[in-house]
Structure 1
Amino acid sequence: MAAGAGAPSRPAATSEETFFSEPDNTGFEVFCGLDVGKSVHHACALGQAGKRLHDKPLPNDEAALAEVFTRLTKHGWTLVVVDQPASISALAVAVARSLGIEVAYLPGLAMRRIADLHPGQGKTDAHIIAASVTAAARTMPHTLRRVGSDDETLAELTVLAGYDDDLAARSTRLTNRLRDALLHVHPALERLLGPRMDRGGVLDLLVAAPTPRVLRDLGETGIAAPMRPRSPRLAKTLPSKMLAALDAQTVVVPGTAAFGRVIAGVAAQLREVRVERDTLAAELEDLLEAHPLAGVLTSMPGLGFRTALKILTIVGDGAAFPTAGHLAA
């Protein structure tokens, strides 16, 4: 589908503030509000004078979205407003943009305040929510935030940063599970290895030798061998300390063999997560460098690339905030 097909042409807005603050709504003639849903949205569209042009459920598929949006553009310059700009509305936003239609969203706080004006099911009724979004777009344009033109770099950063968050959560969960299993079978070994779970060589060792007996049978040279490829310095100093810790406990805790199975499996999973996250970090840094604001963000003292990513994916370029006070609020 060709970009801009079916929609009247119009000069782009120069800034978010001027785009959504002028009293005449900058010439928009149709306001289409969407209460977005996984399978079906509810669309409510009003003309500039308040005439209802559309008020029906709208399936979340390309053909249905394109048909409604195209029909609305025949009534004049159209603005589509969603109640959230996340993945649930991604297809609707993409279809609107492909037709050359401007897209905005109504922030949650403003949406809740408007919903409070409606009794009963005002906060959950799709029809009421869509109508509220549409009314806000037509009469209170200052409440809207622009969904900017599709920035491929920012879109990729947002997706991959979310994946990185998932990996970080998995890493924390697996680390805690691994330390708990080690603590059960050999507390002294857990005290020694627990703080070093971020070292690849330690994980390689636990995959190969997950129980105190197997580790003791390996000896100092055998312990160092699986550690050396990824943690060469640690392979020189840790084996002797591990043998000393192992010698401090002669009692075999019941269930040690079963915990050995758990330790090997969890250590293997944690190793995979760590490798994936390291690989992803390199991709994220390369993508971040391609963004125009990367230099500004990373030049701030104490701001690493992951924090810069958070600011960029959550706050954006700051155009939605007229002053620093608005951002702080």
Structure 2
Amino acid sequence: MNERKTQVWAGVDAGKGHHWTAVVDETGATLWSKKVDNDESAILTALGEILDLADEVHWAVDISGTSSALLLALLAAHGQQAVYVPGRTVNRMSGAYRGEAKTDARDAYVIAETARHRNDFTAIDVPAQLAVDLALLTAHRTDLVADRVRMINRLRDVLTGVFPALERAFDYSAHKGALVLLTGYQTPAAIRRRGRARLTAWLANRGVRGADAVAETALAAAQAQQTALPGEDVAAQIVAELAGQLLALDDRMKRIDKQIRETFRSHPQAEIIE
């Protein structure tokens, strides 16, 4: 069992999807180095492991916009304070350490080592109310993302059972136009009856970008399947409902993202961080 240290330094190379965190002791030896998803449960797990390493943890963060909002909020909620190590400083310090290429792990180590050698960095103070607000908003957004993944998987599963060619035609997780299409047309026969020109006009009237390309792809899928499969009518209804719910959920997530940005900008050091 590793001996508990008196103090350690934790460097965080922050990113939108994940952070890389490295922890060093008073000699500069790496005690802990892992990729941590930008997710509440993952951050809390890493926080617990790191706090178990020493009596005192000195945190240093190379902040990148709002991507660090949840991390900073959780640190504040656990009585931990981080200092801000500017990216320019990290780049200069990187030259002092061996390594063939720039990696998240190496940058996190450099951030930790820089904080160990210097004590003149600005502390990031997250007001209690701001920390609570950000934690609530980001946790809610995480729930919405999970709901979206489940709904897309369900939509694809139902659509595969009656119209596999159309299921393969689009990436429904990233194509709003394809979801709009499914709110009105879910079967090969319905798409063929509508025809390319009228389907293009229908999509364009609903704000779909590249409406003609979406219509062309959908019609090609419809031409590839002439057979109506059992359960088609019920499946079409379910797919249409799921597509509508996903579009509404996307709008909710946009509003949450805007609220997170606005809340973050009330941070006293938001301008420096951004």
Question: May I ask how many residue pairs the two structures share in their alignment?
Answer: 161
State the match for 1:217 in structure 2.
Answer: 193
Q: So what's the TM-score if we normalise by structure 2?
A: 0.51
Rounded to whole Å, the distance in 2 between the matches of 1:259 and 1:110 is 49
Which residue number in structure 2 is paired with residue 245 of structure 1? 221
Alignment partner, residue 161 of structure 1: 138
> 2:201·2:211 contact (CA, 8 Å) conserved in 1?
yes
Q: 2:165 aligns with which of 172, 188, 196?
A: 188
Question: Is the 8 Å Cα contact of residues 201 and 229 (structure 1) preserved in structure 2?
Answer: no
Q: Secondary structure of 2:227's partner?
A: coil
- Residue in structure 2 matched with residue 286 of structure 1 by the alignment: 262
- TM-score, with structure 1 as normaliser: 0.43
Q: Secondary structure at the match of 2:174?
A: coil
Higher deviation after alignment, 206-215 or 181-190 = 206-215
Which has the higher relative contact order, 1 or 2, with Cα contacts under 8 A spaced 6 or more apart? 2
* 1:227 corresponds to 2:203: yes
3-state SS of the aligned residue for 1:233? coil
Which range moves more in the overlay, 289-298 or 208-217? Answer: 289-298
Paired position in structure 2 for 1:272: 248
CA contact (8 A) 2:177 2:214 kept: no
Distance 1:252 1:151, change over 3 A: same
How far is 1:228 from its partner?
1.9
Q: Is the 8 A contact 1:204 1:226 kept in 2?
A: no
Q: What stretches of structure 1 of length at least 5 have no aligned partner?
A: 1-106, 113-143, 299-329
Aligned to 1:174: 151
CA separation of 1:182 and 1:232: change in aligned 2, threshold 3 A: same
The letter of the residue matching 1:155 is V
Q: Does structure 2 retain, via aligned residues, the 8 Å contact 1:200–1:230?
A: no
From the superposition, tell whether residues 177 and 166 of structure 1 become closer, same or farther in structure 2 (CA, over 3 Å). Answer: same
Superposed CA deviations along residues 92-141 of structure 1, whole A, max 9, x for unmatched, are xxxxxxxxxxxxxxx967999xxxxxxxxxxxxxxxxxxxxxxxxxxxxx
The answer to whether the Cα contact below 8 Å between 2:188 and 2:221 also exists between their aligned partners in 1 is no
Segments of structure 2 that go 5 or more residues without pairing to the other structure are 1-46, 53-77, 82-124
Q: 1:182 offset after TM fit, Å?
A: 1.5
Label 1:243 to 1:109 Cα distance change in 2 as closer, same or farther (>3 A): closer
Larger Rg: 1
| Alpha-carbon distance in structure 1 between the residues aligned to 2:220 and 2:179 | 19
Q: Specify whether residues 151 and 227 from structure 1 end up closer, same or farther in structure 2 by C-alpha distance, changes over 3 A only.
A: farther
Higher strand residue share = 2
